[in-house]
């Protein structure tokens, strides 16, 4: 490789690693605010543990509400990461290199939130470990006909694999960070995590193989996790839950929301860290296109749900979809969902909008809201009106519900801020590779021409 | 630039990994082992009582049957402890001056209960019924051990759900019927109510047999 | 538990019992502190710790006794059941009998004695009272109406000892009009006895004979016997203002305002007086007397025509029942109509009034003047609360005029607060007594436990004043009974009295204790003019009233009676049978009236009667009479530290006595009240859930609901159920929605009370609720009450979603809920189409004060965060099985009864095993009208319902 190329690489590395040292006071402020929010989150969790989930708005018949909605929402967010890192990797979508670190980090933190809520929503969370198969003195085992133990397993596996994937991808960059760290102590810390990476040729060979294998391992998970989550509802009798379309429908929704979250995070970051040269409009455009595609899948899901409800001729299904959702209590969520997940994404047909970052950012936020509402509609509206009309009740969240939701958002952003602050936010090695790849391609093109 | 890490750091790291692995495994295994130890089950823990009552003397020397004092075991869920007047039945005559029996006399004459210390305890959501077990031919010793040879009573079995289920899942074997023990009328499949015999067994492992 | 040990210190005797029960209820194993066991020091004879015992006693309300069996665990009364041998119970128990056991442990009970100078001893108070009665102007006693022979003796002696002493019997719902009416018609006061097993056509005039009368439990049982669909099925016409359980089961129902009721009654009688078959036995000149002031509206006239047609058609087995609260004229009409239909001697018999001084003794209305005149010495309230229940007398301000004021009270109530000295009244489970049932049967009140707090019964208090009686209630009652038997045998002394006494106490009521049935002769010449004047008066009254005013109808509360139970948490939370309102009452109006007022359920309205006014939330009640408003008694107490403080409004606050005709001006206040309604809206009957059809449709083309259960396609192997298989049937045409089963379930299964706020959040904990469905129109509704409890589905949707096996199926077909395995995912509740599962949102396990002592030791008290639901009373099933195995036999048919089944007055609930051919449950399950709720879901419920059959007239069949 030419000296110029090497220098260019070096320059790029400097630029990308620099984010780790460039802590402005805004960072400190952000940490402070989000940290406070996270503490509040912890406090509310403690409160709920102490007093009981009666603090929430749940009731009979609406026995599941915010906690489950948040859980499904976060686990959905968590899907983009692996999708980008694994599936796009296998599909050799090189543009992913610039965004995959973001999305993997995001995945990790989202899954962390997701793991929290199922435990918190239990009546007796201190017995959550009964969901695990272990030889108990009671001689009793979990019941595998229920989706919940599988849920537990799926999310846990997904979390673990995401972590490994994240860490493996991080190794070479940790090494670069180590080498560029100003102080010795930082070099030591990054050095430990870099596991003595020297970038030798066979290290790279092993590294690529491991990465490929992990990618292969992670790919089915993207599909499986949310399919299993969807089973929590699909196996139920409840009108609006009892549906075979749920697994693909949920996965599509998950990736949809995941990409929305990626955009809502990456657009500001790109601005703050001046990564315009790395994260080009082309990348954003690609994400936006995926957003449009998955958005259409979701819209199709909605349409089919309604069609099947009508086609089934089941009076309760019909009531759920054609009476409760449009007119029942909390029907606002239904309209918000339709507007954010079906109408808004249609704007993405236009290239001008796809590359107008401000607008795109706004739009991605809306889609996040819409996806949260989708889960709310499924869970809460499904339960508010069931079979026995004599025993129906509406649902209103308590302040603790709202607190936990905003708290988890704070915690998520807090973790993400930490990531932005202490780790290289773009996969250096891969970006450099991509550039070399492009350079080589250009060179070959020139040679052929000349 | 001096080396960032000393030469031994690789070995240190590998060592650390091994230790972490061991800790991880034991973090899972240790509790499972611990809850099965007497620290948790309170087995073999002789308990002091307000009255120095010695089963060895009453059962072995005097040959008094369990049911003389714990008569309710035959008709009630609770075997119960004998009321003070049962003690006084004999001890108003024999050893009626013994200082050891002072608490008993005090209880009897002041009409205040003796506060015994519980040895065999079950969780409050367990509805164990002595009478049916006795009627079914479960020997007292099966759960209480050889009380007749205990100076102070102690638990000899964990009395946890696993212990109960061992029997309820395979009563014939546990109670020694398969080994030829024959209690005549006390056999599990009692000819006098065939309609009930199989239910009697299948009913043994359904939750509401013990939890209501 | 600390609560128990406080008691332990406070009362040695109780302490013994409690300590034993604590030890025996097997508390959680705790590692550090050794748990203590307290065996009896001296075991009471017959007590086997862990084995419940039952004693016969009686619940007495307004002087009428109902025989019950009280269950006792190591000396703690925990549950009330009906006494199967007692004629007023026949094994059934109503809401108030069931709930009465909780009052025993009420933390709000008066503790000990309080004199003007502060806390003192019971003995001191009794001494001072005796002194106070002796000196100064004569004393005045205000007692609850009573039928107790012992009290009769005591009062006689008391009057001898204190000449000039006046005794009033006061209770807001006690009412002497039926005696006055019989005075007019038969020349003597009579207690009518209705025999519904004899009646094939019944007209109920403002009479809730299934729930609101002294013998209602018996009525319900007799009535249900005639409701099997078929030629023998009786037909009921009901004309009532509000909607009652009787109206719910009536085949034809007419909502009439109180004044209209009178005119309908008169019109029925007038029709009968014109007809040849019936004229004969009626006095002449009746038509003239009955000529209606104004013609009836067509709807009413049509009702009257069809009623009369049916009554006359069934002459000899027809019966007209007038409610005890209805005005005298209505009751006179009823008596005459019955005479015309020669009901007397058949479906209607008479006994002499069972109450002492049926007219109520010294009129309480004279008390204020006497007080103003300073003519009252010691003023003693015993078991009554007139400051609350008779506010029009303004007693609160006048009590100071009495030389001294005394109150014997169960809980701190308004009158107790106002009196100088207060003494704790014993609960009936703590004291001896006797009383007569509605049919005169002499019944005994037997205590199960020594008084939890130093207290005395009315009988003992007055006996102490009369002072030539033994001190203990037991001896007084025993003496009375000895005298009675001796009198009966015409001997001064009975040799074998002890044996007789033992037997009577064991059984709960006396040998030869029933009152003789009388056959009085009609004396018409007094009845006719009296009737005429009564009618004229009321017509005048109704004309006088303003146009837009509403007629006021005060009714007994189906949950709080007249307010005496206002501290009973079970009853406070119990949803109203029709409005489903919990924790409060409301002004009930018909949809049309509400429309005229332009108001909806929840709007607060102001009711004004003369100078008095009160504000109450409006609740729209389909089927309620137009132009009238119903207020139910018992609410609106104002003792700040009491549970009932500020719950609902005191209907008596308007100063109108129940049954008296009055009008109120209704004005909207613009504010809204937050009601705790367990059912928000009136749900239309839905074929998936309930079925309701007329007798003709049913007999001509019987439905086969079972078909949609027969062949349900399934991928799974059909499971073979063998041996004992528990199942339940509930007959909707017997269910009046009276709520007895709901309270029975609560008492049996330690179901917590959650309070108004949580009820409003739809978090009530009832394992058994009653869903109310509306068929027909909102103006002429046909109510279907459906008890809804765990259906114990064979293919239970809740089971396969539980991740930890906390809800599983038992080999004998129960859907089991294992609290101690539950981690509270609530997935089971989401997946239960019947929504019968309840969740412990908070820790409901700690009880108010001593109420822990009421808990059933055979049922786990659930902790925070676990699901719970109906278990088919599995504790009873297993107890029976254990007994059977101990005795080496199979289960006997009918050996297991669930709590709801046992208490149901109409016997709507049947329970048993599918392999027991002899069981009533199986017989009903095989009827053509048996169906499963939401059968199409394929859950295969073990609980089946029998469609509600209405014996409607044919031309109206379709309606």
Asked if residue C694 lies in contact with residue C949, where contact means CB atoms within 8 angstroms, the answer is yes
Beta-carbon separation of B208 and C24 below 8 A: no
- Rounded Cα distance between A140 and A130, Å, is 9
* All residues at 6 or more sequence positions from A402 whose CB lies less than 8 Å from its CB, including other chains: A66
Neighbours of chain A (3+ CB pairs under 8 A): B, C
Chains with ≥3 CB–CB distances under 8 Å to C: A, B
| Chain B: partners with 3+ C-beta pairs within 8 Å | A, C
SS3 of residue C876 by DSSP = helix
Instruction: Kindly tell me if the per-residue pLDDT of B186 is higher than 80.
Output: no
The bridge status of strand C587-589 relative to strand C581-582 is unpaired
Residue B129, chain A, CB below 8 Å: the answer is no
Burial class (CB in 10 A: 0-12, 13-18, 19+), B142: middle
B/e letters for C750-785, b = 16+ CB within 10 Å, e = fewer, are bbbbbbbebbbbbbbbbbbbbbbbbbbeeebbbbbb
Mean pLDDT of chain A: 89
Phi-psi category of C555—alpha, beta or left, where left has phi over 0 and alpha has psi -120 to 50? beta
What is the average per-residue pLDDT within C33-53? 86
Q: Which residues of B touch A171 (CB under 8 A)?
A: none
Which pLDDT score is estimated for B196?
38
C315 backbone dihedrals φ, ψ, rounded to 5°:
-50, 130
C-alpha pair distances (Å), C203 with each of C320, C333, C478, C676, C950: 5, 12, 42, 34, 15
Cα(C918)–Cα(C901) distance, integer angstroms? 17
Q: Confidence band (pLDDT; 50, 70, 90) for A37?
A: very high
pLDDT per position as a tens digit, C700-709: 888 878 666 6
Put simply, the answer to whether C28 touches B127 (Cβ < 8 Å) is no
State pLDDT tens for residues A116-136: 999 999 999 999 999 999 999
Eight-state DSSP code of residue C888: T
Cβ contact C356:C287 at 8 Å: no
Lowest mean pLDDT among C24-28, C56-60, C136-140, C857-861: C24-28
CB contact under 8 A, A191 and B4: yes
Residue holding tokens 């018949």? A61
> Closest by alpha carbon to C142, among C428, C446, C357?
C357
Which are the contacts of C848, defined by CB distance < 8 A and separation ≥ 6? C107, C569
For residue B136, pLDDT over 90 is answered with no
Q: Does A59 touch chain C (CB under 8 A)?
A: yes
Alpha-carbon distance of C98 to C858, in angstroms, equals: 18
User: B47 to chain C, minimum CA–CA distance in Å?
Assistant: 9
pLDDT at B184: 40
- Asked if the C-beta of A22 comes within 8 angstroms of chain C's C-beta atoms, the answer is no
Which segments within C789-916 are labelled E, that is strand? 807-809, 815-817, 838-839, 867-868, 909-913
Q: How far is CA C133 from the centre of its chain?
A: 37
Separation CA B89–CA B73 (nearest Å):
19
Chain B: residue nearest A134 by CA?
B32
Between CA C421 and CA C461 the distance in angstroms is 14
Average pLDDT along chain B: 83
Total CB pairs under 8 A between chain A and B: 29
The Cα C653–Cα C644 span in angstroms is: 16
CA dist C43 and B84 (Å) reads 8
Share the mean pLDDT of chain C.
Answer: 88
Asked if C65 and C57 count as a contact pair (C-beta separation under 8 A), the reply is no
Per residue in C539-582, pLDDT tens?
766 655 555 689 999 999 999 999 999 999 999 999 999 999 99
A58 touches chain C (CB under 8 A): yes
Closest CA to C141 of C114, C163, C165: C165
Contact C860 B115 (CB under 8 A): no
Residues C51, B85: C-beta atoms closer than 8 Å = no
User: Strand, helix or coil at C949?
Assistant: strand
Q: What contacts 24+ positions apart, CB below 8 Å, involve A284-289?
A: A284/A354, A284/A355, A284/A357, A284/A360, A285/A351, A285/A354, A285/A355, A286/A93, A286/A95, A287/A99, A287/A259, A287/A262, A287/A263, A288/A263, A288/A348, A288/A354, A288/A360, A289/A348, A289/A354
Torsional class of C357: left (φ above 0), alpha (ψ -120 to 50), beta (otherwise): left
Give the C-alpha separation, C496 to A326, whole Å.
80
B37 touches A: beta carbon within 8 Å: no
Burial tier of A362 (Cβ tally within 10 Å: 0-12, 13-18, 19+): middle
DSSP symbols for C598-667 = T--TTEEEEEEETTEEEEEEEEE-TTPPTTEEEEESS--B--TTSTTBTSS--GGGG---TTS--EEEEE
pLDDT band (50, 70, 90) for residue B193: very low
| Residues making up chain A, counted from first to last | 450
Residues whose CB falls within 8 Å of the CB of residue B131, separated by 6 or more in sequence, listed in order:
B72, B73, B74, B75, B76, B77, C882, C886
Confidence class of residue A273 from pLDDT cuts 50, 70 and 90?
A: confident
* Residue B172 touches chain A, beta carbons under 8 Å: no
Most confident of B184-188, C227-231, C651-655, C900-904: C900-904
Among the listed residues C709, C719, C784, C725, the one whose alpha carbon sits nearest the alpha carbon of residue C921: C725
Q: Report pLDDT digits (tens) over A163-216.
A: 998 999 899 889 888 888 888 888 889 988 988 888 889 999 999 899 899 888
Considering the entire predicted model, what is its pTM? 0.92
Helix (H) or strand (E) holding C701: none
| Cα B37–chain centre separation | 14
Q: Least CA distance to C772: which residue of chain A?
A: A390
A195 touches chain C (CB under 8 A): no
pLDDT of residue A17: 77
pLDDT at A322: 94
**Contact in structure between C402 and C371 (CB atoms under 8 Å):** yes
pLDDT(B185) > 70 = no
Residue-wise pLDDT for B18-43, tens only, equals: 999 999 999 999 999 999 998 888 88
In degrees and rounded to multiples of 5, residue C66 shows phi and psi of -125, 125
Alpha helices in A83-146 (DSSP H): 88-90, 96-120
C-beta atoms of C26 and B128 within 8 A = yes
**Using the beta-carbon criterion (under 8 Å), do C890 and B196 form an inter-chain contact?**
yes
Chain C environment of A392 (Cβ under 8 Å)? 680
Task: List the alpha helices (DSSP H) in chain B.
Answer: 9-34, 38-41, 55, 66-69, 84-91, 102-110, 130-135, 140-144, 161-169, 171-174, 194-202
Contact C651, C615 (CB under 8 A): no
Cα separation, C248 vs C251, whole angstroms? 8
- Helix ranges (H only) for C82-146 are 95-104, 122-134
More confident residue, A281 or C320: C320
Higher local confidence (pLDDT), A396 or C44:
A396
Angle (CA) C606-C611-C617 rounded to 5° is: 15
What DSSP line would sit under B35-91, residue for residue?
TTSHHHH-BT-----SS---HIIIIIIT---HHHHSGGGGTSS---PPPHHHHHHHH
Encoding tokens for residue C359?
A: 């007219």
Q: How far apart are CA C742 and CA C738, in angstroms?
A: 9
Contacts of C800 in chain A (CB under 8 A): 143, 145-146, 235
Nearest to B208 by CA among A138, C817, A143, C724: C817
Classify the phi-psi angles of C315: left when phi > 0, otherwise alpha if psi is within -120 to 50, otherwise beta.
Answer: beta
Looking at mean pLDDT, say which of C2-11, C146-155, C170-179, C359-368 comes out highest: C146-155
Q: Are C662 and C552 contacting, i.e. CB atoms less than 8 angstroms apart?
A: yes
The minimal CB distance from A238 to the residues C802, C823, C830 is found for: C830
Residue of A134, A136, A139 to mutate, testing the B interface (most B Cβ within 10 Å of its Cβ): A139
Contact A53 C841 (CB under 8 A): yes
Q: Which residues contact C620 (CB under 8 A, 6 or more apart)?
A: C588, C589, C590, C591, C594, C600, C601
Q: What is the pLDDT of residues C735-790, one digit of tens each?
A: 999 999 999 999 999 999 999 999 999 999 999 999 999 888 877 889 999 999 99
Q: Of all helices (H) and strands (E), which one includes residue A70?
A: helix A66-77
Contact C554, C609 (CB under 8 A): no
Of B78, B84, B123, the CB nearest to C49: B78
The rounded distance, in Å, linking the Cα atoms of C951 and C705 is 20
Instruction: Return the residue in C681, C773, C826 with the most chain A beta carbons within 10 A, the one to mutate for interface testing.
Output: C826
pLDDT value at residue B134: 85
């Amino acid at each position: 490789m030419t000296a110029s190329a090497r220098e260019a690489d070096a320059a790029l590395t400097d630029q990308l690693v620099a984010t780790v040292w460039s802590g402005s006071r805004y960072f400190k402020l952000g940490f402070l605010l989000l940290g406070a929010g996270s503490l509040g989150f912890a406090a509310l969790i403690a409160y709920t543990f102490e007093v009981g989930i009666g603090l929430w708005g749940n009731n009979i018949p609406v026995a599941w509400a915010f906690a489950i909605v948040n859980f499904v929402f976060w686990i959905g967010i968590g899907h983009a990461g692996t999708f980008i890192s694994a599936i796009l990797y296998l599909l050799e979508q090189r543009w992913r290199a610039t965004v995959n670190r973001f999305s993997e980090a995001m995945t990790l933190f989202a899954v962390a939130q997701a793991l929290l809520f199922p435990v918190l929503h239990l009546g007796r969370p201190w017995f959550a470990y009964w969901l695990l198969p272990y030889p108990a003195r009671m001689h009793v085992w979990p019941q595998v006909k229920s989706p919940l133990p599988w849920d537990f397993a799926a999310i846990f596996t997904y979390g673990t694999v995401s972590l490994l994937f994240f860490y493996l991808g991080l190794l070479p960059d940790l090494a670069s960070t180590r080498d560029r760290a100003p102080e010795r102590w930082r070099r030591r810390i990054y050095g430990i995590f870099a596991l003595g990476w020297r970038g030798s040729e066979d290290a790279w060979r092993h590294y690529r193989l491991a990465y490929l294998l992990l990618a292969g391992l992670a790919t089915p998970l993207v599909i499986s996790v949310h399919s299993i989550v969807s089973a929590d509802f699909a196996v139920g009798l409840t009108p609006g839950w009892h549906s075979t379309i749920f697994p693909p429908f949920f996965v599509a929704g998950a990736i949809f929301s995941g990409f929305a979250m990626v955009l809502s995070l990456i657009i500001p970051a790109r601005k703050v860290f001046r990564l315009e040269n790395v994260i080009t409009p082309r990348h954003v455009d690609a994400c936006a296109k995926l957003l449009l595609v998955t958005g259409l899948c979701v819209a199709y899901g909605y349409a089919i749900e309604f069609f099947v409800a009508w086609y089934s001729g089941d009076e309760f299904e019909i009531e759920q979809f054609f009476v409760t959702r449009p007119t029942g209590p909390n029907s606002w969520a239904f309209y918000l969902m339709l507007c954010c997940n079906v109408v808004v994404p249609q704007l993405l047909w236009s290239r001008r909008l796809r590359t107008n970052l401000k607008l795109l950012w706004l739009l991605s936020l809306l889609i996040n809201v819409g996806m949260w509402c989708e889960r709310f509609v499924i869970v809460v509206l499904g339960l508010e009106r069931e079979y026995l009309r004599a025993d129906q009740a509406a649902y209103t969240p308590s302040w603790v519900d709202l607190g936990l939701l905003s708290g988890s958002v704070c915690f998520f952003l807090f973790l993400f801020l930490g990531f932005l602050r202490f780790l290289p936010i773009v996969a250096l090695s891969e970006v450099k590779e991509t550039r070399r790849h492009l350079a080589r391609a250009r060179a070959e093109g020139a040679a052929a021409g000349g | 630039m001096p080396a960032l890490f000393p030469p031994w750091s690789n070995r240190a790291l590998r060592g650390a990994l091994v230790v972490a692995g061991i800790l991880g495994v034991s973090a899972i295994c240790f509790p499972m082992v611990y809850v099965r130890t007497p620290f948790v089950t309170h087995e073999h823990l002789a308990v002091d009582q307000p009255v120095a009552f010695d089963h060895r003397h009453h059962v072995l020397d005097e040959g008094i049957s369990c049911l003389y004092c714990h008569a309710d075991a035959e008709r009630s869920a609770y075997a119960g402890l004998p009321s003070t007047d049962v003690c006084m039945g004999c001890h108003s005559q024999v050893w009626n001056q013994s200082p050891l029996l002072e608490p008993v006399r005090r209880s009897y004459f002041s009409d205040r209960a003796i506060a015994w210390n519980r040895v065999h305890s079950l969780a409050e959501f367990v509805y164990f019924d002595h009478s049916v077990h006795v009627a079914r031919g479960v020997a007292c010793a099966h759960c209480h051990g050889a009380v007749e040879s205990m100076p102070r009573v102690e638990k000899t079995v964990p009395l946890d759900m696993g212990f109960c289920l061992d029997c309820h899942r395979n009563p014939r074997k546990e109670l020694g019927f398969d080994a030829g023990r024959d209690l005549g009328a006390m056999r599990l499949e009692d000819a006098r109510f065939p309609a009930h015999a199989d239910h009697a067994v299948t009913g043994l492992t359904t939750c509401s047999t013990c939890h209501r | 538990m600390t609560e128990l040990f406080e008691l332990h210190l406070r009362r040695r005797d109780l302490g013994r019992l409690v300590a034993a029960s604590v030890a025996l209820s097997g508390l959680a194993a705790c590692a550090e502190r050794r748990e203590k066991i307290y065996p009896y020091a001296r075991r009471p004879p017959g007590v086997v710790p862990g084995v419940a015992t039952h004693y016969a006693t009686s619940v007495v309300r307004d002087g009428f006794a109902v025989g019950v069996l009280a269950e006792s665990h190591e000396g703690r009364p925990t549950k009330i059941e009906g006494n199967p041998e007692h004629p007023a119970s026949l094994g059934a128990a109503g809401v108030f009998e069931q709930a009465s056991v909780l009052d025993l442990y009420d933390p709000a009970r008066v503790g000990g004695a309080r004199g003007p100078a502060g806390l003192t001893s019971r003995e001191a108070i009794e001494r001072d009272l005796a002194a106070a009665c002796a000196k100064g102007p004569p004393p005045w006693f205000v007692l609850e109406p009573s039928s107790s022979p012992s009290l009769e003796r005591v009062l006689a002696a008391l009057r001898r000892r204190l000449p000039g002493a006046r005794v009033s019997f006061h209770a807001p719902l006690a009412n002497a009009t039926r005696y006055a009416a019989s005075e007019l018609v038969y020349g003597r006061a009579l207690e009518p006895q209705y025999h519904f097993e004899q009646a094939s056509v019944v007209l109920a005039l403002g009479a809730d004979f299934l729930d609101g009368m002294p013998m209602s439990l018996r009525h319900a049982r007799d009535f249900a016997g005639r409701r099997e669909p078929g030629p023998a099925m009786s037909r009921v016409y009901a004309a009532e203002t509000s909607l009652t359980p009787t109206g719910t089961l009536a085949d034809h129902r007419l909502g009439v305002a109180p004044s209209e009721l009178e005119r309908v009654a008169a019109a029925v009688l007038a029709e009968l007086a014109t007809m040849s078959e019936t004229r004969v036995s009626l006095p002449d000149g009746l038509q003239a007397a009955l000529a209606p002031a104004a013609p009836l509206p067509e709807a009413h006239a049509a009702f009257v025509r069809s009623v009369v047609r049916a009554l006359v058609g069934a002459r000899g087995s027809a019966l007209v029942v007038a409610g005890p609260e209805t005005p005298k004229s209505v009751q006179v009409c009823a008596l005459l109509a019955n005479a015309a239909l020669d009901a007397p001697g058949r479906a209607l018999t008479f006994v002499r009034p069972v109450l002492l001084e049926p007219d109520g003794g010294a009129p309480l209305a004279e008390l204020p003047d006497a007080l103003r005149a300073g003519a009252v010495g010691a003023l003693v309230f015993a078991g009554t609360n007139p400051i609350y229940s008779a506010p029009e007398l303004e007693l609160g301000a006048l009590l100071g005029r009495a030389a001294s004021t005394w109150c014997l009270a169960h809980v701190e109530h308004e009158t107790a607060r106002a009196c100088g000295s207060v003494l704790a009244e014993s609960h009936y489970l703590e004291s001896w007594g006797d009383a007569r049932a509605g049919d005169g049967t002499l019944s005994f009140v037997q205590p199960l436990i020594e008084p939890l707090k130093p207290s005395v019964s009315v009988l003992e208090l007055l006996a102490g004043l009369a002072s030539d009686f033994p001190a203990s209630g037991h001896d007084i009652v025993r003496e009375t009974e000895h005298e009675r038997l001796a009198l009966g045998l015409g001997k001064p002394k009975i040799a074998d009295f002890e044996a007789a006494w033992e037997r009577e106490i064991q059984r709960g009521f006396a040998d030869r204790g029933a009152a003789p049935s009388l056959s009085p002769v009609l004396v018409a010449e007094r009845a006719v003019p009296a009737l005429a004047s009564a009618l004229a008066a009321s017509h005048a009254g109704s004309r006088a009233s303003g146009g837009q005013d509403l007629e006021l109808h005060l009714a007994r509360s189906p949950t709080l009676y007249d307010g005496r139970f206002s501290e009973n948490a079970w009853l406070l939370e119990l949803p109203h049978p029709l409005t489903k309102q919990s924790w409060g009452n409301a002004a009930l109006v018909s949809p049309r009236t509400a429309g005229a007022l332009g108001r909806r359920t929840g709007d607060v309205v102001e009711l004004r009667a003369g100078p008095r006014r009160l504000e109450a939330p409006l609740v729209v009640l389909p089927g309620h009479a137009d132009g009238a408003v119903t207020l139910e008694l018992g609410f609106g107490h104002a003792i700040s530290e009491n549970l009932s403080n500020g719950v609902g409004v005191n209907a008596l606050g308007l100063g109108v006595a129940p049954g008296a005709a009055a009008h109120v001006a209704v004005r909207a206040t613009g504010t809204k009240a937050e009601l705790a309604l367990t059912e928000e809206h009136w749900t239309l009957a839905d074929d998936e859930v309930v079925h309701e059809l007329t007798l003709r449709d049913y007999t001509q083309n019987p439905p086969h609901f079972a078909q949609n259960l027969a062949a349900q396609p399934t991928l799974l192997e059909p499971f073979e159920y063998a041996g004992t298989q528990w199942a339940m049937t509930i007959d909707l045409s017997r269910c009046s929605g009276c709520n007895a089963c709901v309270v029975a379930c609560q008492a049996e299964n330690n179901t917590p009370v959650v309070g108004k706020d949580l009820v409003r959040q739809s978090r009530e904990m009832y394992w058994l609720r009653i869903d109310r469905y509306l068929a027909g129109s909102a103006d002429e509704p046909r109510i279907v009450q459906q008890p809804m409890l765990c259906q114990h589905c064979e293919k239970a949707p809740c089971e396969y979603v539980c991740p930890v096996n906390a809800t599983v199926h038992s080999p004998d077909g129960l859907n089991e809920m294992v609290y101690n395995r539950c981690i509270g995912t609530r997935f089971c509740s989401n997946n239960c189409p019947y929504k019968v599962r309840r969740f412990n949102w908070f820790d409901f396990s700690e009880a108010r004060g001593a109420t822990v002592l009421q808990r059933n030791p055979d049922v786990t008290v659930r902790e925070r965060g676990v699901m719970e639901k109906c278990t088919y009373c599995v504790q009873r099933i297993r107890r029976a099985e254990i007994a059977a195995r101990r005795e080496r036999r199979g289960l006997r048919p009918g050996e297991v009864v669930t709590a709801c089944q046992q208490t149901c007055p109409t016997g709507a609930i049947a329970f048993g095993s599918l392999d027991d051919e002899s069981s009533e449950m199986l017989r009903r399950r095989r009827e053509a009208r048996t169906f499963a709720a939401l059968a199409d879901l394929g859950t295969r419920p073990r609980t089946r319902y029998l469609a509600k059959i209405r014996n409607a007239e044919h031309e109206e069949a379709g309606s």
